[in-house]
Amino acid sequence: MDLEKLHRKAAKRKSSFVEARIEKPIHDICRNENKSPIRYLMSGMVAKIERPSISLYKPTSSLGGDDAYEGRSYDENIIEPYVLKYQLPCNVTTAFLTPSFRKIERPLAKEMFKTSRPPQPYYQMMDVLAYVELYPDRAELVLLEIIRNLIDIKAENDKRLREQLARIKDGSEFSALSSEEIVNLIVQHLHCKKSSRLPVLIVAAAYEAVKNLTGEQAKDLLSHQAADKQTGAIGDVEITLTTEANTITCYEMKSKAVLKTDVEKSIEKISKQDSHIDNYIFITTEPIDREVNDYAKSLYREMGTEVVILDCVGFLRHFLHFFHRRRIQFLDNYQDLVLKEPTSSVSQALKDAFLALRVAAQE
């Protein structure tokens, strides 16, 4: 499948490749915040183009029959490299790791997605699948229409970000922004919808701002959708010495209260590491339970690793005041990380919100 050729063709097209009745569901799916149906459709269309006899409702050979196909293989081997190359606004990891597609035990049907959040893009996805099953020779046109929409959305997003970035003053003009003003800005950003990824970016930005002072740095961040068991990661942010590869400090982010079971899971992770972990730090945006915190602190003499629970905003405030002269570097780092995150992790609305907050803070 020559996706490069299709990309060039879609990039030149201003009008739809498909008829009106299927144009709207494709448009809506591509612009929905839930991005899983996009990659499912793209991988299915590629499979249908190559093998018209397959059933788009049977994306795994375990369902049996000559019409079953391995959707995850198409998704990871063909769609994923293409999506990453052009930074298209959809999930950066396979759709088959998301809850709605993780365990498919029977052919897809609309009722299977009634508990999905939200169900509407999945229902529209099923409408598209039904259309292509009825007209299998139009699978390529549907794929082209999906690509055309994604290219348009990316161009719109990029244009809006450029316009907002142009309104932000450079560091020398902006240095009067105080540590407390930065804390206030970040707190407002954390209060936006679907901000669970942001504490990870806060910690990573902080370490990047002072790595030449502390001799410690954050490893490259893993995908928001990737589970620790799949990646082999200890937590959400792993810190190493700049001269070594072994993790010495690990951060795990929680958008809910940290429970004793969370601490016990961290003990299990630590015990499996070949090298010594100095600190395992939970960062939470919720109140800290005193008993759980006391339990975590009691583990040091037994393990030689400090397990601690910190309030996210408290961590940020202390960091910014302790490294006051690096506060703008932190803010710039945080902005870069926010803007570089795929929209499946940090939505376009969340990116726009941060830039709007920063512009407002400087005025």
pLDDT (tens digit, 9 = 90+) per residue, 19-69?
999 999 999 999 998 999 999 999 999 999 999 999 999 999 999 999 999
Distance between CA atoms of 149 and 147, rounded to whole angstroms? 5
Q: Return the structure tokens found at 327.
A: 């506060």
Q: What is the pLDDT of residues 9-23, one digit of tens each?
A: 999 999 999 999 999
Distance between CA atoms of 119 and 112, rounded to whole angstroms? 9
Residue 243: predicted pLDDT: 84
Compute the CA torsion angle 159, 362, 345, 148 (nearest 10 deg): -10
Distance between CA atoms of 35 and 92, rounded to whole angstroms? 10
| Residue 326's pLDDT band (cuts 50, 70, 90) | very high
Residue 173: predicted pLDDT: 46
| Residue 244's pLDDT band (cuts 50, 70, 90) | confident
Is residue 59 within 8 Å of 156, Cβ to Cβ?
no
Q: What is the pLDDT of residues 142-188, one digit of tens each?
A: 999 999 999 999 999 999 999 989 988 665 544 578 999 999 999 99
| Residue 277's pLDDT band (cuts 50, 70, 90) | very high
Residues 77-87 have a mean pLDDT of 95
pLDDT at 226 over 60: no
Q: What is the pLDDT of residues 106-127, one digit of tens each?
A: 999 999 999 998 999 999 999 9
Is the bond preceding residue 118 a cis peptide, omega within 30 degrees?
A: yes
Residues 322-347 have a mean pLDDT of 93
CA distances from residue 261 to 183, 206, 293, 295, 307 in whole angstroms, order as listed? 30, 28, 12, 11, 13
Percent with pLDDT over 90 in the chain: 81
pTM of the model: 0.83
> Where do the H-state alpha helices sit in the chain?
3-12, 20-31, 36-50, 71-74, 80-86, 120-134, 139-165, 171-174, 179-190, 198-214, 228-231, 260-271, 290-297, 300-303, 312-322, 327-340, 348-362
| Residue 224's pLDDT band (cuts 50, 70, 90) | very low
Residues whose CB falls within 8 Å of the CB of residue 341, separated by 6 or more in sequence, listed in order? 197, 201, 224, 351
Distance between CA atoms of 26 and 268, rounded to whole angstroms? 45
